Structure 1
Amino acid sequence: MEQNRAILIAGPTASGKSALAIAIAKSCGGTIINADSMQVYAELRILTARPMPADEEIAPHRLYGHVSVTQNYSVATWLKDVEAAIRDVRASGGVPIIIGGTGLYFMALTRGLSPVPSIPDEIRRYWRQAACERPVGELYQELCRRDPITAARLRESDRQRIVRALEVYEATGTPLAQWQEKPGTPLLSPEEYVGLVVDRPREDLYARADTRFAQMISEGALEEVVLMRSMQLDPDLPATRALGLAPLMACTAGEISLEEASGLTCRDTRHYIRRQLTWLRRNMISWKWIQTKEMEQIKRSGFSFVD
């Protein structure tokens, strides 16, 4: 395999992606670069299962915990950050190993972002204000009237994406879904990367996710949540959608028990895993899918097996 080819590792949460990435990094002198939209936040190391300091001592890690939860970090911003990280790793003679569970990040990396025009400030301000003042269901019905194509692709509770679709439609007269179908310019061409998808049976993923959440609680996830509550964040910030954050906030506020919060988090994580698997099978069918035995083989034989 050519030295400058990147290794992209996708997969659902709790699938073992991180352990695989570390094993490959050790064998080829690689640097692990984050492609998980929640692991970018500094204040959420435990709740988002970011690599621990011991992992970071084994191999270099980039784009983990490098922004505050107070920032509206976007895929476009990540794409600029990952471009710089890949360039730095290649310049040092290393192999970029890009790993995560956020499919949109990988789509942007390998297919480019759709060329949605800039939104005028006055339109953006209007809809952001509407998001604060109007119920999300009302906003969704407004989107259904204006842009039913995009509305059909969104959850009725997804305030941030609903508002984004409304402002794009008002500014351009074209549904956001149509803009998203227009091709962008990929950062990596097919010749520049190897794409791997870590695959496990669904029930195995559920069990691993439950075990990991219990470990998060024992390692101090509640303390992270207390900090987040004290920051009084805008509920539409991306970081507020971290799995488990809302139930644990309710728990630390005395509204529900830890047992109830754990049950809600495990339920939401199962739903998320199902959505991830559906998305991966639809969009990454051409990548190499790695089963448990193959993962162990890669860990034993190293980088050459991937080639």
Structure 2
Amino acid sequence: MNQTLYFIVGPTAIGKSSLALRLAEKINGVIINADSMQVYSNLKILTARPSSADLKRISHQLYGYVDGSIRYNVAKWCNDILKVIQKNQINNTPLIIVGGTGMYIDKLLNGLIDIPSIPELIKEKSENLVKKVGLGNFLKIVNDIDPVSLNNISANDTNRLKRIWEVYSFTGIPFSEWKKKQNNFFLNKPDYHIYLFTPSREKIYERVNMRFKKMLNQGAIEEVRQLILLKLDKSLPIMRAHGVPEITDYLSNVSTLDDCISRGQQITRNYVKRQLTWWRSCSLRIHQSFDEFPEKIDEKLLKI
């Protein structure tokens, strides 16, 4: 493809969207979401989706367009963004892709393993098995079927552990064997510029703590209350979004508001730590890297 894709990436809560807006105005671009939770229509406050004013200011794509009952994933996002890219290629509109879900960006640029879609029944079985035997014993089960896949993941990464179990249970082939197969590519030799922002972890933590409280004041509790009324399967991605389990426990009188706030902040800080580790060790070609918050960077400093 001839069109250059511009990526503004880094951990959550650092203000990537504000820089994306300024850059979009400078180059007459469109902003596209690359955050796995901002796709959901049911969570606007808790996922920090762009404001109504921002949406009027610049065209935004792939925000709040998926219902929470859908088990959205990286393959669906790659196919969805591919349609947006192809549509805007006609007019050669600059595309600014913003988000912290590094895996989405990596798979868009480097392709995805062609693994058969896992049925909901298998996903439900993996969820129930973890609850039944506990994470420690589930880890042993996964190790028995595919020890190679455990080499590069955390023993506490429930989602990836379940993924390994699900793939083997459905296909009879270990996930590590599937990974040896050639990737399916979404883009043909893409030209891209990644602008990576990794401010001080401690300063990001401060923002995370303040932002979670602000979200609660803006209506996040009522947002989760409405989500609970839908009686969705708790294994769905939206039900595991940062803040949803914590606020759910508060609304169910399992925890106090203070506990809810403390746990919500901690979960998000843990996520920031994982994001920083991922971005600092990823193999993607970084065009420019900054150790400041995006709002402190003049868009003119971005090498287009």
TM more than 0.5:
yes
> What is the alpha-carbon distance in structure 2 between the residues aligned to residue 129 and residue 91 of structure 1?
45
Is the 8 Å Cα contact of residues 198 and 290 (structure 1) preserved in structure 2? yes
Is the 8 Å Cα contact of residues 6 and 97 (structure 1) preserved in structure 2? yes
Change (3 A) 1:129 1:291: closer
Is the 8 Å Cα contact of residues 198 and 292 (structure 2) preserved in structure 1? yes
Could you say what secondary structure the match of 1:239 adopts? helix
> What is the alpha-carbon distance in structure 2 between the residues aligned to residue 286 and residue 37 of structure 1?
21
Deviations 1:59-107 (A, max 9, x none): 1100001001111001111111000011122223311111111111011
Give identity over the alignment, percent: 33
Is residue 28 of structure 2 the alignment partner of residue 29 of structure 1?
A: yes
> What is the alpha-carbon distance in structure 2 between the residues aligned to residue 209 and residue 190 of structure 1?
36
- What RMSD, in angstroms, separates the aligned Cα atoms of the two structures? 2.5
Change (3 A) 1:221 1:126: closer
**Matching residue of 1:199:** 198
**Matching residue of 2:67:** 68
Q: How do residues 113-124 of structure 1 correspond to structure 2 at under 5 angstroms?
A: 113-117=112-116
Could you say what secondary structure the match of 1:306 adopts? coil
Deviates more, 1:106-115 or 1:89-98: 89-98
Is the 8 Å Cα contact of residues 136 and 156 (structure 1) preserved in structure 2? no
Pick from 127, 134, 138: which aligns with 1:131? 127
Residue segments in structure 1 that go unaligned for 5+ positions in a row: none
Is residue 303 of structure 2 the alignment partner of residue 306 of structure 1?
A: yes
Q: How do residues 79-98 of structure 1 correspond to structure 2 at under 5 angstroms?
A: 79-98=78-97
How much does 1:190 deviate? 5.8
> What is the alpha-carbon distance in structure 2 between the residues aligned to residue 214 and residue 131 of structure 1?
30
Q: Which has the higher helix share?
A: 1
Change (3 A) 1:208 1:190: farther
Which residue type is aligned with residue 290 of structure 1? Answer: F
| TM score, norm. by length of structure 1 | 0.88
Is the 8 Å Cα contact of residues 16 and 198 (structure 1) preserved in structure 2? no
> What is the alpha-carbon distance in structure 2 between the residues aligned to residue 294 and residue 38 of structure 1?
21
**Matching residue of 2:231:** 232
How much does 1:154 deviate? 4.7
| TM score, norm. by length of structure 2 | 0.89
Could you say what secondary structure the match of 1:6 adopts? strand
Is the 8 Å Cα contact of residues 20 and 96 (structure 2) preserved in structure 1? yes
How much does 1:296 deviate? 3.8
**Matching residue of 2:100:** 101
Deviations 1:219-275 (A, max 9, x none): 110111101221222111111121111111111122212111111111111111110
**Matching residue of 1:270:** 269
